[in-house]
A and B are shown apart, each in its own frame.
Chain A
Amino acid sequence: MRKLLFQNLWRSPLTIPAPAPSEPALAELGARVDRAARRRLGRSLAIRQVDAGSCNGCELEIHALNNAFYDLERFGFRFVASPRHADVLLVTGPVTANMREALERTYAATPGPKWVVAVGDCGRDGGVFAGSYACVGGVAEVIPVDLHIPGCPPDPLQLLEGLLALLQVQ
């Protein structure tokens, strides 16, 4: 183990430069997030990820945000284990009928001020699963959504751009 740790001291970091926040995401958010909440939270946001029916593709890319290339925590974001510790709910999937109540209860358990980010094409409008008897539709059908990050699945860079926009909005 020591050898591996020493090697890491010499190697240049893998972490990529921070991307610019994406413009459409900024515009969507501008109207929703006020300056006061921003002052209270500063550059630190706790994220609770909720899979409300996803195929697991989005989760894989959200996971990747934590790897050395994207290193999400350098921007002040971190994933937390309970909605009670969270500022942001990162919700994936078409919301299934079987997950609807769990999502509503997770939202209710999250203290305000809070934001909801709907991830993926399914989180936006149900994606390829729209119209099924078992799906309610996009996340906004169930809880208020502040930001959509589309993609099937969105890659880590797109996720990062969206989350950065959440922080930098005036």
Chain B
Amino acid sequence: MMNANVALRTILEAGEPVTDHRPWPRVVVTPELWNTLSEGLSGGAWSLLGLWGEVGMVHLAVYEDASETPGVASLPCPAGQFPSVGRLHPPAQRLERTIADLVGLQPVDAPDGRPWLDHGRWPVRHPLGGATARTSPPNPLSMHGEGVAKPGERFVYPFLSAEGESLHQIPVGPVHAGIIEPGHFRFTANGEAVVRLEERLGYVHKGIESLLRGATLERAARLVGRVSGDSTVAYALAFARAVEAATETTVPARAHWLRALMAELERLAHHCGDIGAICNDAAFALMHAHCAVLRERVLRASAAGFGHRLLMDCIVPGGVATDLPADGAKTLRALVDDFRQQFPPLIELYENTASLQDRTVGTGFVRPALIQQFGCGGVIGRAGGRAFDARRQPGYPPYDRLEFETPVQTDTDSDTDSDVNARVWLRIGEVEQSLALIEQILERLPPGSVRGDLNLPGRDCEGVALVEGFRGDILVWLRLAADGTVARCHPRDPSWFQWPLLEAAIENNIVADFPLCNKSFNGSYSGHDL
């Protein structure tokens, strides 16, 4: 029996290596090694990068922070079940419930047996597994699986309970009051104070992973680019990089730089929009109006540079779809100049408006220990002291040749750290970094072609990529079939490890501060629901 202090490398060496999986190793492990991985995750030595299934097998992607080593472990499940990871490591629970819903593999001894994405409304069960016709609602009907659903019975989702005097429940959603995505929030409150928030997601589940099976690379790239529309660049980049890793394709240098340019434009636009939207939820509309103007300028410059305001379908496996036109660099430089003039007064306004700070400081605090445990990425993670940035580690070009900082909140001792205010400031910091990156890229953009041919090997091959989107690290894992179509592809949104923390962030805050907390997280529903 191995102990939990074992290095990830030791496990990866003990397993049976899978050939043609790149760039990290993938190994087939025994149930014992699988459990050692769960223990290591629970002990905090590693972060969970992903957990997904396919017919007869589950895959676990982990990252060892100390040695900066990523790896994928796979466990065959001949009996249709696997030892629960969530039993020891809570961040895995929703992912396991999803595997049970989509693939039909059961996590043994899982603490939460409720379905997650399956609301009992699809015509099939286990669409990524046996895909049998549905004759009954999802099983089990209770938290611990005592209930058995009967055919035709209406599925009622059992929410967790909260006990105490004078508690009341507030159900919110799935249709929300603003122009936002659908999801359900079940608040239990004592007067104004929230004592429990439970999320129920899955409303925008579109069956993307099923659509990806058998898709051509061209169609798959369009699908993955629409997993979460606001992160279309990051998703398209992660997909392209995974395909290129699997096929050992080299991408022209100019394409790498143009991809980074698009990624930073996306980061700039959405961070800027979020800063304004957070202030708007504290009833400070002036910031919102000004940030929305800046954001619109980014989208217009993006359209002028690459032909699409959100840059959809601009990154393709092998390179990028279009090169920057002759006046593109000039347009983007003008955008940066504009930002440099307009943005600092807005920061000053944020900093000097006491009524606004009154709402954001100390609101929606998340304990740094939780952020570490969940391997939470993006500004939410970095506001809690977790410095992880996929642009640096595992890293990808051209960031190794660019100078930039990853703003991190290092002082996380008091209750006013890692709050809404900290998340605003980190976004401000990232806006400044993205501006500097755009300038550097425009300055040093190498000449040459922007797209190369894929080096399809004519046999099965697998690839994985981790890309830093504006929300955090996006994982894409895929297996290509011999004919060059997608056999299986799993995109994992950063929100998987952020949504659960929102439940913690709102505790003891007042109900009226929920929109503020939620906006400061800005989790993706579509990216999570798949």
Contact residues of A with B, CB < 8 Å? 1, 3-5, 14, 49-64, 66-69, 79, 81-83, 93-94, 96-102, 106, 128-129, 131-135, 152-153, 155
> Is B227 among interface residues, defined by CB-CB distance under 8 A?
yes
Of the candidate stretches B40-48, B200-208, B315-323, B447-455, the one touching chain A is B200-208
Q: Chain B 283-320 against A: per-residue CB contact (8 Å), 1 yes, 0 no?
A: 00010011011011001000100000110100000000
- B206→A135 contact, CB < 8 A: yes
In the complex, chain B residues whose CB is within 8 Å of the CB of A134 = 122, 127, 205-207, 210
Could you tell me the distance between the alpha carbons of A2 and B293 in the complex, rounded to whole angstroms? 19
Among the listed A14, A49, A55, A69, which residue makes an inter-chain contact with B228, where contact means beta carbons less than 8 Å apart? A55
Taking the closest CB of chain A, its distance from the CB of B202, in whole angstroms, is 6
> Is B229 among interface residues, defined by CB-CB distance under 8 A?
yes
- B121→A100 contact, CB < 8 A: yes
Could you tell me the distance between the alpha carbons of A80 and B78 in the complex, rounded to whole angstroms? 53
Q: A82-B177, A98-B205 are in contact. Are A55 and B226 (CB under 8 A)?
A: yes
Could you tell me the distance between the alpha carbons of A53 and B122 in the complex, rounded to whole angstroms? 14
Q: A56-B229, A60-B229, A98-B204 are in contact. Are A128 and B223 (CB under 8 A)?
A: yes
- B312→A98 contact, CB < 8 A: no
Among residues of A, the one whose C-beta sits closest to the C-beta of B206 is: A129
In the complex, chain A residues whose CB is within 8 Å of the CB of B310 = 57, 60-61, 153
In the complex, chain B residues whose CB is within 8 Å of the CB of A69 = 293, 296
In the complex, chain A residues whose CB is within 8 Å of the CB of B181 = 51, 54, 56, 59
> Is B180 among interface residues, defined by CB-CB distance under 8 A?
yes
Among the listed B299, B309, B349, B526, which residue makes an inter-chain contact with A1, where contact means beta carbons less than 8 Å apart? B349
- A102→B174 contact, CB < 8 A: yes
- A61→B309 contact, CB < 8 A: yes
- B203→A55 contact, CB < 8 A: no
Most buried by A among B175, B223, B299, B309: B175
Could you tell me the distance between the alpha carbons of A98 and B101 in the complex, rounded to whole angstroms? 14
In the complex, chain A residues whose CB is within 8 Å of the CB of B123 = 97, 133
In the complex, chain A residues whose CB is within 8 Å of the CB of B93 = none
> Can you list 14 A-B contacts (CB < 8 A)?
A4-B290, A14-B293, A51-B180, A61-B309, A61-B310, A66-B292, A67-B296, A79-B179, A98-B205, A133-B127, A134-B207, A134-B210, A135-B206, A155-B303
In the complex, chain A residues whose CB is within 8 Å of the CB of B52 = none
Sorted nearest first, the 5 A-B pairs with minimum C-beta distance are: A57-B229, A134-B207, A132-B207, A81-B177, A55-B229
Q: Chain B 514-530 against A: per-residue CB contact (8 Å), 1 yes, 0 no?
A: 00000000001110000
Q: Chain B 104-124 against A: per-residue CB contact (8 Å), 1 yes, 0 no?
A: 000000000000000101111
> Is B161 among interface residues, defined by CB-CB distance under 8 A?
no
In the complex, chain B residues whose CB is within 8 Å of the CB of A100 = 121
Most buried by B among A56, A101, A129: A56
> Is B414 among interface residues, defined by CB-CB distance under 8 A?
no
Among the listed B202, B232, B292, which residue makes an inter-chain contact with A68, where contact means beta carbons less than 8 Å apart? B292
Could you tell me the distance between the alpha carbons of A129 and B219 in the complex, rounded to whole angstroms? 11
Among the listed B127, B178, B208, which residue makes an inter-chain contact with A81, where contact means beta carbons less than 8 Å apart? B178
Could you tell me the distance between the alpha carbons of A103 and B264 in the complex, rounded to whole angstroms? 36
- A129→B292 contact, CB < 8 A: no
In the complex, chain A residues whose CB is within 8 Å of the CB of B121 = 97-98, 100-101
In the complex, chain A residues whose CB is within 8 Å of the CB of B127 = 133-134
- A102→B182 contact, CB < 8 A: yes
In the complex, chain B residues whose CB is within 8 Å of the CB of A62 = 179
- A97→B179 contact, CB < 8 A: no
Among residues of A, the one whose C-beta sits closest to the C-beta of B222 is: A128
Could you tell me the distance between the alpha carbons of A112 and B290 in the complex, rounded to whole angstroms? 36
Could you tell me the distance between the alpha carbons of A135 and B203 in the complex, rounded to whole angstroms? 11
- B526→A56 contact, CB < 8 A: yes
Sample of 13 further A-B pairs with CB below 8 A, known A64-B292, A67-B293: A4-B290, A51-B182, A54-B526, A55-B228, A60-B229, A64-B296, A67-B295, A81-B178, A102-B203, A131-B211, A132-B208, A133-B123, A133-B131
- B526→A152 contact, CB < 8 A: no
Most buried by A among B207, B229, B290, B352: B229
- A60→B230 contact, CB < 8 A: yes
Among the listed A57, A66, A96, which residue makes an inter-chain contact with B230, where contact means beta carbons less than 8 Å apart? A57
- B119→A132 contact, CB < 8 A: no
Among residues of A, the one whose C-beta sits closest to the C-beta of B352 is: A1
Among residues of A, the one whose C-beta sits closest to the C-beta of B124 is: A133
Interface residues of B in 340-362 (CB under 8 A from A): 345, 349, 352-353
Among residues of B, the one whose C-beta sits closest to the C-beta of A3 is: B345
In the complex, chain B residues whose CB is within 8 Å of the CB of A64 = 292, 295-296, 299
Most buried by B among A3, A81, A83, A98: A98
Among residues of A, the one whose C-beta sits closest to the C-beta of B219 is: A128
- A98→B202 contact, CB < 8 A: yes
Most buried by A among B175, B206, B211, B349: B206
Taking the closest CB of chain A, its distance from the CB of B130, in whole angstroms, is 13
- B204→A96 contact, CB < 8 A: yes
Could you tell me the distance between the alpha carbons of A80 and B524 in the complex, rounded to whole angstroms? 22
- A133→B210 contact, CB < 8 A: yes
Could you tell me the distance between the alpha carbons of A3 and B342 in the complex, rounded to whole angstroms? 13
- B211→A129 contact, CB < 8 A: yes
Among residues of B, the one whose C-beta sits closest to the C-beta of A136 is: B121
Could you tell me the distance between the alpha carbons of A66 and B288 in the complex, rounded to whole angstroms? 10
Among residues of A, the one whose C-beta sits closest to the C-beta of B284 is: A1
Among residues of A, the one whose C-beta sits closest to the C-beta of B292 is: A67
Among the listed A59, A66, A106, A131, which residue makes an inter-chain contact with B175, where contact means beta carbons less than 8 Å apart? A106
Among the listed A57, A83, A97, which residue makes an inter-chain contact with B122, where contact means beta carbons less than 8 Å apart? A97
In the complex, chain A residues whose CB is within 8 Å of the CB of B177 = 81-82
Could you tell me the distance between the alpha carbons of A50 and B289 in the complex, rounded to whole angstroms? 23
In the complex, chain A residues whose CB is within 8 Å of the CB of B208 = 129, 132
Taking the closest CB of chain B, its distance from the CB of A151, in whole angstroms, is 10
Could you tell me the distance between the alpha carbons of A164 and B89 in the complex, rounded to whole angstroms? 53
Among the listed B122, B210, B230, B345, which residue makes an inter-chain contact with A4, where contact means beta carbons less than 8 Å apart? B345
Taking the closest CB of chain A, its distance from the CB of B427, in whole angstroms, is 17
- A1→B353 contact, CB < 8 A: yes
Taking the closest CB of chain B, its distance from the CB of A8, in whole angstroms, is 9
In the complex, chain A residues whose CB is within 8 Å of the CB of B174 = 99, 102
In the complex, chain B residues whose CB is within 8 Å of the CB of A79 = 179
In the complex, chain A residues whose CB is within 8 Å of the CB of B122 = 97, 133-134
Q: A57-B310, A99-B174 are in contact. Are A68 and B289 (CB under 8 A)?
A: yes
In the complex, chain A residues whose CB is within 8 Å of the CB of B205 = 96, 98, 134
